[in-house]
A and B are shown apart, each in its own frame.
Chain A
Amino acid sequence: MEAYAVQAVHGVVYGMLLFLVTSGLTLVFGMMGVLNMAHAAFYMVGAYFTYSLVQWTGSFWLCLLLAPIGVGIIGAFVERALLRKVHTFGHAHELMLTFGIFYILAEVVKWIWGTYPLTVVAPDVLNGSVPFLSATYPTYRLFILLVSVIVLFILAFIMQKTRIGIIVRAAVFDNEMVDILGVNVQLVFLGVFSIGSALAGLAGVVAAPFLSTYPGMGLEILVDAFVVIVIGGFGSVWGALLAALMIGELQSFGIMLIPELALVFQFLLMAIVLVWRPQGLFGESA
Chain B
Amino acid sequence: MTHTRTKNVLTVLIVLAALVVLPYLLTEVQLNMAIEIAFFSLFAVSYNLLLGYGGVLSFGHAAYFGTGAYFMVFALKYVAGMPILPAVLVSGVAAGLTAAIVGFFCVRLGGSYFALLTLAFNQLIYAIALKWRSLTGGDDGIGLDKHDMYLPFVGNLDTMSTFTVYYLTVIIVLISLWLIRFFLKTPYGNTVACVKDNEERAAFIGYNVFRSKLVLFTMAGFFAGIAGALFAFFEEFVSLDSINMAMSTEVLFMAFIGGTGSFLGPVLGAAVFIYFTEWVSDITEHWEFFLGVLFVLLILYANRGIIGLIPEKIKNFWSPRSASAGER
Contacts and interface: CB of A to CB of B under 8 A. Distances in A.
Interface of A: 29, 33-35, 82, 85-86, 89, 91-93, 95-97, 99-101, 103-104, 107-108, 111, 219, 222-223, 226-227, 229-230, 234, 260-261, 263-264, 267, 270-271, 274-275, 278, 286
B105 A271 contact: yes
Interface of B, helix, strand, loop or mixed by DSSP: helix
Interface in B267-305: 286, 288-289, 292-293, 295-296, 299-300, 303
Contacts of B245: 219
A255 to B, nearest CB: 13
13 contacts: A29-B112, A33-B112, A86-B299, A96-B256, A96-B299, A107-B286, A107-B289, A219-B245, A222-B119, A223-B123, A226-B120, A263-B131, A264-B124
B289 A104 contact: yes
Given A99-B252, A103-B295, A107-B288, 4 more contacts: A29-B112, A86-B300, A92-B111, A234-B112
Contacts of B121: 267
A223 B256 contact: no
Nearest to A227: B120
A201 B249 CA distance: 24
Contacts of B321: none
B296 to A, nearest CB: 4
Contacts of B286: 107, 111
Contact of A230 (B117, B288, B300): B117
Contacts of B292: 100, 103-104, 107
B296 A101 contact: yes
B112 A91 contact: yes
Contacts of B33: none
The number of chain B residues touching the other chain, given as a range, is: 35 or more
Contacts of A99: 59, 249, 252
Contact of B109 (A33, A95, A267, A278): A278
Contact of A286 (B56, B109, B299): B109
Given A95-B57, A95-B115, A234-B112, A223 B299 contact: no
Contact of A93 (B109, B112, B249, B303): B303
Contacts of A278: 108-109
Contacts of B56: 92
B202 interface: no
Contacts of A261: 131
Given A103-B295, A286-B109, A226 B119 contact: yes
Given A101-B296, A108-B289, A229 B116 contact: yes
A73 B288 CA distance: 24
Q: Which of B108, B111, B123, B303 has the most CB of A within 10 A?
A: B123
Contacts of A29: 112
Contacts of A89: 299, 303
B309 interface: no
B127 interface: yes
A89 B55 CA distance: 12
Contact of B116 (A33, A35, A82): A35
Nearest to A101: B296
Nearest to A103: B292
Given A223-B120, A267-B120, A35 B293 contact: no
Contacts of B113: 230, 234, 286
A82 B296 contact: yes
B177 interface: no
A111 B123 contact: no
B175 interface: no
B123 A95 contact: no
A230 B131 contact: no
B295 A91 contact: no
A247 B303 CA distance: 38
B48 to A, nearest CB: 13
A34 B115 CA distance: 12
B126 to A, nearest CB: 9
A95 B50 CA distance: 15
B128 interface: yes
B105 A260 contact: no
Interface string B97-118: 0000000010011111101110
A111 B131 contact: no
B172 interface: no
B51 interface: yes
Interface string B75-115: 00000000000000000000000000000010011111101
Contacts of B293: 104
B283 to A, nearest CB: 15
A103 B128 CA distance: 25
Contact of B55 (A35, A92, A222, A227): A92
Contacts of A226: 116, 119-120
B168 to A, nearest CB: 33
B243 to A, nearest CB: 14
